[in-house]
Structure 1
Amino acid sequence: MGNAVRYHSRTEIPEKYKWDLQKMYESDAAWEQKFEEMKRRLPELKEYEGKLASSAKTLLEALQLKDYLLEHILRLYNYAHMSSDQDTANSTYQGLVDRAMGLYVQFGAAISYMTPELLAIPDETLEQYLQQPELSLYRHAIEQVTRLKAHVLSKEEEALLAQAGEIALAPNNIYNMLNNADLQFPNVHDEEGKEIPLTKGNFVPLQQSPDREVRKEVFHTFYERYKNYNNTFAAMLNAAVKRTVFNARVRKYSSALEAALDEDNIPVEVYSNLLETVEKYLPQMHRYIRLRKQLLGVDELHMYDIYTSMVKDVDLVIPYEEAKEKVVEGLQPLGEEYLQVVRKAYESRWIDVYETPGKRGGAYSSGTYGTAPYILLNQMDNLDSMFTLAHEMGHSVHSYYSRATQPFVYSDYTIFVAEVASTTNESLLIHHLLEQTNDRQLKMYLLNHYLDQFKGTVFRQTMFAEFEKLIHAHVEAGGSLTAEILNQFYLELNQKYYGPDMVSDPLIAVEWSRIPHFYNNFYVYKYATGFSAATALAQGILQKGEHAVAAYLQFLKSGGSAYSIQLLQRAGVDMTSTQPIAAALDVFTDILDQMEALMEE
């Protein structure tokens, strides 16, 4: 297991390992100045109310003003949330986050008239306006609005919903404070019996320990603490799901699932196809569990045995600097243009590397138009940390290209395609590492990692997706999500996905309470579909070379200029079909075959 150097405060960390947020704002005072400007200018949007249909010139001016204000409000929010994530207990930046979010809600209220007014413009008139060169830029953006005509409310109703937006975010905000700032864990013991702090950042690395007693203690300590707050977490998730169901009903959708997918113009069948296809491959997942049990040599396989390597006597320690170079090597097939952006990320302080007390756990890529696509890490000097770097770099290069190539209105992309870029990087990296070794043990170790990627990204995320479908359907049928109901749903799914050879420890029933993605409804399925699309794209890049790379880079540069399904189809992957999911799971089956063959050597 990797064991990165531990820092007790950010002041101890060399500057080159900390992101440079001053590129967004030189100081908090500069942030305040821009905040006041945006607050002062928000009323300008109201000057266009009731006038959008009057002329193409007026419509263009209103849209340009909206874009300008939104661009800067998003920058205000990103600076605030990333500053807060450096130390989630810092009340100053908590305040900035709250104010930025409040400003965003006010912005939403200020533009709430725009959609109803756009929809009221006769189709012939709107088409005439869109013939104007400058306004034609907004054709796809306007089409995204008019496409949802049946689900848009009156001007007054839209304004009311926008004003309630800040209240509606309460479950998310309370969850983040409890989970990231207030929830503390007792110390646990490492392999040498020494007491060490348990954090959300080191939970998974400690679950990877070769010492089973360490894994068991960490598992029970971690989830017992979540169990202590079982009812509180249930109340928060119940409120979040009810909010989602309410919004879907108000907007005349048949279900919360349909409403969530329609935002990206994704057919509900894509979600259903994922659940059904993965269920057909659950026997292969259960085969993986049997293989894990056999290689670990245990009489009973427990949930605290799921993260540790199945391959003994391989302990890869990969310091951050080495990980950086290996990522560059693995991404060579994407060409020099792509690699130049990766090197720029390393050299320009886009990345916040090490864990410190209070720092937000996990990893992400963030930023907005006009800023660097920053990366937050919690480096642990192991294989997982190297793949996390490759993963988040995929997001950030995608963001870099989108923002550099597209105008602001199309500079963002949907989460549906976001996970493609990140996972393509991971697929290329694992392929490179496997090619570079003839060592049987190391190859088995890497195959183990590849299997675990499938387990975590396709099977586990699909289990999460099925959990989300269940809990929303339960509320839609008039039920309430109590701790007992949530625990029951989750435990039953855990047993279904991991199969009869896994002991589903009772404490795993509360695992749902540590998953922040459930507060962003119907989000996690995109990891599984993205992994499937990425598997196809990576194979194309490796097999077809420059032609496939050119199509892929064009996909990265397209931002949100077309619908997600269309963008992937142009890159060569059709996610309305079950084929990419089945093909990815066939690769999983093939890796199992390779692993079993190596065992017999």
Structure 2
Amino acid sequence: MPETTLSIPQRKQRTFLPDNFQLITWESIQPFVENLKYRPIHSAKDLQHWFEDRSELEAYLAENFAWRYIRMTCDTANEQLVTHLQDFITNIQPKIAPETNALNEKALLNEYLTWIKAEGFEIMIRSMKKDFEIFREKNIPVITQIQTEERKYGAIAGEMTVEIDGKELTLQQASDFLQSTNRAAREEAYKKIAERRYQDKDKLDELFNKLIQLRHQQATNADFKNFRDYMFAALGRFDYTPEDCFAFHTAVAESVVPLLNEMAQERKEKLKLDILRPWDTKVDISNKPALKPFTSGEELINKTIECFTKLDPYLGQCLAIMKQMGHLDLESRKGKAPGGYNYPLDEIGVPFIFMNATSSLRDMVTMLHEGGHAVHSFLTRDLSLNAYKHPPSEVAELASMSMELISMDHWNLFFESEEDLRRAKRQHLEQIIETLPWVATIDKFQHWIYEHPTHTVEERKHTWLRIYEQFSDSVTDWAGLEEYKAYIWQKQLHLYEVPFYYIEYGIAQLGAIAVWKNYKENPQRGLQGYINALKLGYTKPISQIYEAAYIPFNFSKEYITELISFVKTELEKVK
């Protein structure tokens, strides 16, 4: 295991940029870029030093952008913060792109490249080659425009509120009413939330149309048939193909969706309902009040630190450091962007967790999830090059989703009664079963969208409904709610802000179940495998990182069936 004590980290002293350097304009960073572009390289040692200096520059720029993004999402109504972020997107990022390509070319053509044998170097070069292949100068203004449009989603969603019991609530806060034992209260909250989203459907459709058009242009500019194929290259998906994704969709439809029907039928019967409606899907199946594992952001982080510490003291220290450094913004409030994230900060190596917590089980699990990402940042912070610290999402999400499960043995910290603890575990395991079909839904929808970039809004609506029904239960009655159902996809931030970043959740969910299965069989070995995998960062191919965790990189029908059977067995234990 790693060291059990960890002092507050300090940013490493810079050796290339001045220690007091501040990014004001592009001109302030340009001399350092020029140095890298034109510096003579006469040996493998010179080239290694060049990569180290480049890494330092990239880490600085990444962290500078990160803080602009973090501060904007914490307060989307602050025009100064919005402008500060937009300035980077408009005036800095477009200039970084061609220089990055020039630096890639310089490195790839260097005669000493093959002399460097450092761990992970080949993986970095593989990604660099792919980036160089797909780079096009004419895409720079297109990418700037895309990023500007993407930011509009958070502003639109962040302004959405509803009034319940005379109080103005964010949609995240209002969604807690969906767990109420009062069915009329659930229905009221559901309809108000759905109607509020529906009010902005045209605005969000228009924004999405614009993004599709721009993304397709980006793909064709780079000589790809469509944006899906472009993104598989851009995301560095060396380990699987679109056809593997289609196989995943089919496997989930055949192996997991039947379980959704069983769970929905059981829910209908236990709640003693003639008809199961969408507002009946979040209430506890025994019709008990919603679980409240914490009452404030402070309590949430303190209990999570204790939970992580019981797994391993080092893990708890990671979150304790973040708390001490003020790298947390946890509670929901008006003006915050939706969603939650763990944002790596490449220079200091201590990430930032953002979320919209109220007091629900979902929020507790989100904190555990983002905490898994945070631990990953700590475990990779000392890797020698910045590129090594950023594994693909199939690995990053393994870190977070595994933490949700291996922490379950210590969830008693959040629940005083054994009954509440069992309810929490049951709800979470049911959520895992629901996650795989939802991932398949969103992923299959994205494939269709970008394979048919000229589709109409009406065609998109019909396709969404067709795909949604393929991966959802057939028990829930949507009568009178068809229009709301047709726009459920608009609540999925990833479609707007990080396209094609979703299948990773499905792949990683399978990996997380496997990590948990190992942990249940042998806690010490299971946890050690988890940490072994995370420490690798991106110095190995995905399959070898999974292997380090003692699990296969596999999402075949047979494997999915085996893992879901394990989850079902564990679920029976907590009923």
TM normalised by structure 1 equals 0.82
**1:184 aligned partner:** 160
Provide the residue aligned with 1:5 in structure 2.
none
8 Å CA contact 2:518–2:526 kept in 1: the answer is yes
Partner of 1:494: 468
Post-superposition CA distance 1:199-251 (Å, at most 9, x none): 13214322222222222222222222332332321222223233333334444
2:322 corresponds, among 325, 345, 348, to 345
Separation (CA, whole Å) in 2 of partners of 1:350 and 1:528: 28
Question: What residue in structure 1 maps to residue 64 of structure 2?
Answer: 76
Please point out which of 94, 98, 102 is paired with 1:105: 94
Relative to structure 1, is the Cα distance of residues 449 and 33 closer, same or farther in structure 2, using a 3 angstrom cutoff?
A: same
Bigger shift: 532-541 or 343-352? 343-352
Distance of aligned partners of 1:287 and 1:375 in 2 relative to their CA distance in 1, 3 Å threshold: same
2:331–2:357 contact (8 Å) kept in structure 1: yes
Give 2:345's match in structure 1, choosing from 357, 368, 374.
368
Distance 2:161 2:414 in 1: 40
Q: Within 5 Å, which residues of 2 pair with 1:352-431?
A: 352-371=329-348, 372-431=350-409
In structure 2, what is the Cα distance between the partners aligned to 1:45 and 1:435?
Answer: 50
> Aligned partners of 2:247, 2:548: CA distance in 1, in Å?
21
- Shift in CA distance, 249/591, structure 1 to aligned 2, threshold 3 Å: farther
What is the CA–CA distance in structure 2 between the aligned matches of 1:424 and 1:299, rounded to whole Å?
37
1:16-31 correspondence runs (5 A): none
Secondary structure, counterpart of 1:111 in structure 2 = helix
Matches of residues 240-319 of structure 1 in structure 2 within 5 Å? 240-253=211-224, 255-262=226-233, 263-268=236-241, 269-281=243-255, 282-319=257-294
Q: Do structure 1's residue 480 and structure 2's residue 455 form an aligned pair?
A: yes
| Offset from partner CA, 1:123-167 (integer Å, 9 cap, x none) | xx64x443257x887443123223577x445xxxx2332343212
- The 3-state SS of whatever aligns with 1:264 is coil
> Which letter does structure 1 place at the counterpart of 2:84?
L
**1:453 paired residue among 417, 431, 443:** 431
The one of 154, 167, 175 equivalent to 1:204 is: 175
Q: What amino acid sits opposite 2:450 in the alignment?
A: H
| Counterpart contact for 1:317–1:381, Cα < 8 Å | yes
Could you tell me which of 184, 204, 213 is aligned with 1:233? Answer: 204
Pair 246,570 (structure 1): closer, same or farther in 2 beyond 3 Å = farther
Deviation at 1:385, TM superposition (A): 2.1
| Structure 1 gap segments, 5+ residues each | 1-19, 25-29, 189-193
Aligned-partner residue type, residue 565 of structure 1 = S
> CA–CA distance in 2 between the matches of 1:412 and 1:406?
12
Matched to 1:473, the amino acid is E
| Contact 1:487/1:509 (8 A) holds in 2 | yes
Of 231-240 and 286-295, more deviation after overlay is shown by: 231-240
Q: 1:458/1:225 Cα in 2 relative to 1: closer, same or farther (>3 Å)?
A: same
**1: CA distance, partners of 2:467 / 2:40:** 50
SS of aligned partner of 1:449 = helix
Q: Which residue of 2 aligns with 1:131?
A: 115
Question: Mean Cα displacement is larger for which, 394-403 or 336-345?
Answer: 336-345
What amino acid does structure 2 have at the position aligned with 1:110? E
Deviation (angstroms), 1:425: 1.5
Question: More deviation in 30-39 or 502-511?
Answer: 30-39
- Describe the superposition over 1:366-402 as per-residue Cα deviations: whole angstroms up to 9, x where unpaired: 1311232111133322322222211111111111111
The residue type paired with residue 115 of structure 1 is N
Q: 1:226 to 1:31 in 2, by over 3 A?
A: farther
Instruction: Indicate conservation of the 8 Å contact 1:201/1:378, yes or no.
Output: yes
Amino acid at match of 2:548: R
Any idea what the Cα deviations from partners look like across 1:335-371, whole Å, max 9, x if unmatched?
Answer: 2333332333344433223223312233211131123
Give the fraction of aligned pairs with identical amino acids, expressed as a percent.
17
| Of 94, 97, 102, the match for 2:82 | 94
Name 1:582's counterpart in structure 2: 561
**Partners in 2 of 1:575 and 1:481 — Cα distance?**
37
Aligned residue pairs, count: 549
Give the SS at the match of 2:486: helix
Is contact 2:160-2:197 (8 Å) kept?
A: no
Q: Distance in 1 between matches of 2:520 and 2:211?
A: 43
Q: Distance in 1 between matches of 2:204 and 2:436?
A: 26
In structure 2, which of residues 549, 553, 571 is the aligned counterpart of residue 571 of structure 1? 549
Instruction: Provide the C-alpha distance between the structure 2 equivalents of 1:163 and 1:67, rounded to a whole number of angstroms.
Output: 25
Give 1:515's match in structure 2, choosing from 468, 473, 492: 492
Which whole-Å CA distance do the structure 1 matches of 2:340 and 2:270 have between them?
30
The question of whether the paired residues in 1 share the 8 Å contact of 2:74 and 2:335 is answered with: yes
For residues 83 and 437 of structure 1, do their structure 2 counterparts lie closer, same or farther at Cα, with a shift above 3 Å needed? closer
* Mapped contact 1:529–1:581 kept (Cα < 8 A): no
Match of 1:224 in 2: 195
| Deviation, structure 1 residue 45 | 2.6
Moved more, 449-458 or 416-425: 449-458
- What do you get for the CA RMSD once the two structures are aligned? 3.4
Equivalent residue of 1:377, what SS? strand
Matched to 2:128, the amino acid is V
Tell me how far apart the structure 1 counterparts of residues 131 and 277 of structure 2 sit (CA, whole Å): 47
Letter in 2 for 1:66: R
Q: State the Cα distance separating 1:545 from its structure 2 match.
A: 3.1
Paired with 1:185 and 1:23, the residues of 2 have a C-alpha distance of 40
Partner Cα distance (1:360, 1:49) in 2: 38
Q: Unaligned 5+ residue runs, structure 2?
A: 1-7, 13-17
Closer, same or farther: CA 217–435 of 1 in aligned 2, 3 Å:
closer
Which residue identity is paired with 1:531?
Q
Task: Provide the C-alpha distance between the structure 1 equivalents of 2:273 and 2:398, rounded to a whole number of angstroms.
Answer: 36
Contact preservation (8 Å) 2:119, 2:539: no
Confirm or deny: 8 A CA contact 2:270 2:285 kept in the other structure: yes
* Amino acid of the structure 2 residue aligned with 1:394: G
1:143 and 2:126 are equivalent in the alignment: yes
